[in-house]
Every structure is written in C-alpha cells, then in structure tokens.
Amino acid sequence: MHLYLLLCLSTADVDKPLTVNGRLDNEAICFLIDIGASCSILYSAMVAQLNCKIVQPEYHHHILTANGTTLQTGSQVVATVQLASLTTRHKFAVSSHLPWSAVLGMDFLRRYCDNIDPLSQTIGFLYNAKNTRVEGKPQTVNILEASDNLNGLESILIQPLLTRTASPYTERLMLASLLRSLPDVFQYGSEEPERTGPVHHEIDTGDHHPLRQPARRIPVHYQSQLNTLIQDMLNKRVIRLSTSLWASPIVLVKKKDGSLRLCVDYRRLNAITKRDSFSLPRIDTTLDALHGAKWFPTLDLDSGYRQVKVRPADRQKKAFIIPSVLYGFETMPFDLANAPANFQRILQTVSQDLVPSQCLIYLDDITVHAPTIDEHNSRLKNVFERLRMAGLKLKPTKCVLLMQEVSFLGHLTTPAGVKTDGKKVKQIVDWPVPRSYRKFVQYFAETASPLYQPMEKGKKFVWSAECHAAFNTLEDKLSSPPILAFPDFSPSDGPFLLDTDASDLAIGAVLSQKPANGEVVIAYASRRLDKRKRRYCTTRR
C-alpha cells in the first residue's frame, strides 16, 4: 500500500509555489515547495541549529531556482523530513544565500509527490504505508514575493542581528531561523500594509447632522509638499476622493526633518462623538509587569492605525477638505477621538492570552519580556503568530531584538529594573521645569518648592537664586538617576516597606522592598503642600 498525503492549498493558482508546515530533524519548520529547484536546499544557519549530519563537506554546485537566480552550495547534509505521516531521510544541499529556511526541490518531489491538483486544491505525496488523508491549510506564496520579503528581512533585521556581538552567535542563529519562517509578519518597501479583517472602527455621532467646515488657506511654500503628500496617500489607498456631506479642515505640522505631516482638525467631530470607555493601560502598572525578565525585544507596527478599517457607514464622517478638493480616509486616522482606545482594544484582543505574562502592549508599541533566551524566541513566535492571524504588519527597522536594555514607554528597562532614559534626561536638562520623572527623585516636591513660589497667584515672577539652585539640584539628580527595581509579589521575595516623611513645605514617601540581597527602591512619591495644609500639625501632615 501507498500512503497518500493530501495537503490543502489556499489558492487554486498552480503558478505559485506553496509552503507546508512540517518538521526537520524533529524541529518545526516551514518548507517551501519549489518545482523550479533542481534539488532540495537548506539554509546554512539551519545546519548549525539542527546539528545535521554532513555527508559531503565539499559540495560545490550552482542550483537554478524558479525565479531564474542561481544559488552556490558549499556542502550536503542528510536530515529527517516529516510531513504529517510521511517520515523519511533526505539529502539537502547547503547554501548561505537561500531566502528561506528549507526548500523541497524536484529531487524530493519526483520521489514522493504524486500530483498537485488545482481543482481540489491539494498536493499528494506517495509513501510506503497505508492510505491516509491529512488536511491542512499551509500558506501559498509567490517565490518572487517571498524572495523579495526575505531579502528585505535579511538586510534590515537578520544581518544586523547576526553581526552584532552583544549575544552568543548560536542564539542569534536560532532567532534568525525564526524570522525566516515568518517573513510575512513584516512590511517591506513603500507599500501600504493590508487592512485588518473583521475589526472596524466606529464613529458614533448619534443623530447629529453632518458638520461641514470650510477649507483653510494653505501657505504657498507648503503647496508643493502637500500635493506630494496627497498623491502618495492616494497611491497607497489611504485616502480617496469624496462626495461626503461632512468636511473637516487640515493642519500641516512640520516634522524635525523639515517634511510635513498632514493632520486633520477633527475637534468638532470629536466633540459630538460618543466616547469609548476602553482605557489605555497605566504606564507604571505596565512597567511593573516586567519583573523577572532579562530579555526585552520590542516590536513596532508599521503605520498601525492605517491597518485598521473604518465601518462603511462612518467613512463619510472622516472626510477632510483642502481648497477645491474633498478627500476621505479609507483607514482609521490617528486624529479621531476613539482611535487610541480602539487600537489598544484590537491589539489586546489579538494577544489576550499573552498579556501580561508574555508581552506588554501600549498602542503600537509591543515589548516581549522573557527570563531566558529560549523563552525569548518562544514568546516572540507566539506574538508573531497572533499578529499574522490578525493581518497586522511590523516595521522591521523599528523592531529591536535580543536586547537586555531597551527604551520602552519613555523609560530604560533592564534586568535590574527601570531607570530614566538618557535621551529624555538630556531633553529635561536642556528644557525648563522638569516634570516627567518625579518618581525617580527623592524629596522632589521639597527640592522643587522654590520653583513653584514665583508662580503663586498675585506674585510677580522673579527667578531667584533659590530657584536656580533648586533647578540645578534636580538636573544633577536626573543626570545620575537611580535604578528603580520591579516589584516582586511572590511571598519569598520579602515584604514591601513604605517610609513617609513631612516638612514645612512638602510630604514625601519611599516604596521599597527587602529581598534577601538587600533593600531596593521601587518608587519615590512627593507632593508640595498648599498654604492651607502648611498650617497642619506635623502628625497630620
């Protein structure tokens, strides 16, 4: 008897090679089925990861692929291939330039493949065993598209990862293999990402009549850049011409590089929109969840809001007007009142079983936290698969992997704890009154008290020597910041301690914890007293 394996295709287009999920030497892998490859090929990094047996150390050949390119091989190995119930040993040529983890070529297909049927959307494999039918839905891809995506992934993310010396090379190879198995999670080039499927953004304005506002005058020296922006958004299908009864004016904001960002003044629309009560996570609570982690890969979605569709009935409400022309957004603009809440809900729904145990999400910023490198890769894969299922794309240039110290939500996260971000500190040193890092400065309120006195009602503003000294003190404390530890709620890590104090000007507190290796500070808190509370007795303060 022969075993006849049927693997369902996701398209009837037989001109497109397909991928099938299987195992190679008992490791999960995504095989590319390539009828244009004369032999089966394995990416060189996979050889080290799988510890494959080398059968020919010197195997120098030029292999022609389906897209017309040639690959240079260096050796030949043998490994066990598993596709459902089919298990067999097979030889692979090894190439360091392969844009895929593993390719099953014509040598494998001639031996085991019976047919590829576009009508039933199946591929059949013959093997010595009883007759069995196996169903699945492996992804179908175009070899040229897959090659382009992987080439982009190689240059943008994988090669910098492999050449970095901050982590062991074997760990980087394992992560590179993971990235190569999921290239469609990333967005490449200037093309706009696809929109998410079932989730739509709603703009509930009740029975309010359409709001139509006039166009604002565009400065002459901005007109050329605006025309370029509009044409680019039309080409990417972000906007379209509109005949809506609604119209909101635009605002052009200059970026740091001198280019313009097109924003829409939706203030009147937002004023009549029913608010979404879904709240964003607290930043301090989010950072506390990182306790015990030593690896902090961060991911960033590519134009995240633009990947979300808007409910068809509400699309006309997003129309914006420039002189003589009315346009409408096809996707969710970030200027809308409920856009942040809806976007947060989408991502938390997609990753609900992973938050906060494996990853943390704040709008389009995602950080995966892990105590070990194996967990790092495993949790990354889980997040990638959730994003792929939702049709969400990542921007590879903004993804930071295999790092133990990263900037997240304006703070620097490390295995030891969280501390102020040096870039943010520089901005504070070069900028007036510091406000963002109160919890990092002990007795902040009392130290800063002279800075508040000139702003009291009825007083003339005078920058005194006391103000200057207080400001310099805060600068010094922020320039050499303490590391705040993550709270550990396990019973074995010691009790929490709360120390409080009061002076004539302010009250303060220090939250700390006392594990076996000594006391660590978790947060500082302080508040300046108003005139009424300064008259309280010491115990009441």
Q: Domains of the chain by range and CATH?
A: 2-142 (2.40.70.10), 155-180 (no CATH), 220-411 (3.10.10.10), 417-534 (no CATH)
Among 42-51, 79-88, 341-350, 449-458, the minimum mean pLDDT is found in: 449-458
pLDDT, tens only, 233-287: 888 888 899 999 999 999 998 877 778 889 999 999 999 999 988 888 887 778 8
Cα 82 → chain centroid: 32
Could you report the per-residue pLDDT of 407-437, keeping only the tens digit for each? 877 778 888 877 776 666 565 555 454 444 5
CA angle 457, 462, 466 (to 5 degrees): 105
- Residue 303 sits at φ, ψ, to 5 deg, of 45, 60
Q: Exposed/middle/buried for 448, CB within 10 Å: 0-12, 13-18, 19+?
A: buried
Please name the amino acid found at residue 377: N
Angle between helices 373-390 and 169-181 (to 10 degrees): 10
State percent of the chain over pLDDT 90: 11
Of 109-118, 136-145, 263-272, 452-461, which gets the smallest average pLDDT?
A: 136-145
Predicted pLDDT at 471: 72
Q: How far apart are CA 78 and CA 522, in angstroms?
A: 54
Place of tokens 């690896």: 295
Q: pLDDT (tens digit, 9 = 90+) per residue, 369-395?
A: 888 888 888 899 999 988 888 888 888
pLDDT at site 226 = 92
Does 516 or 89 have the greater pLDDT score?
89
Residue 11: per-residue pLDDT: 35
How many whole angstroms separate alpha carbon 541 and alpha carbon 533? 7
Average pLDDT of the residues of the chain: 74
| 513 neighbors 494 (Cβ within 8 angstroms) | yes
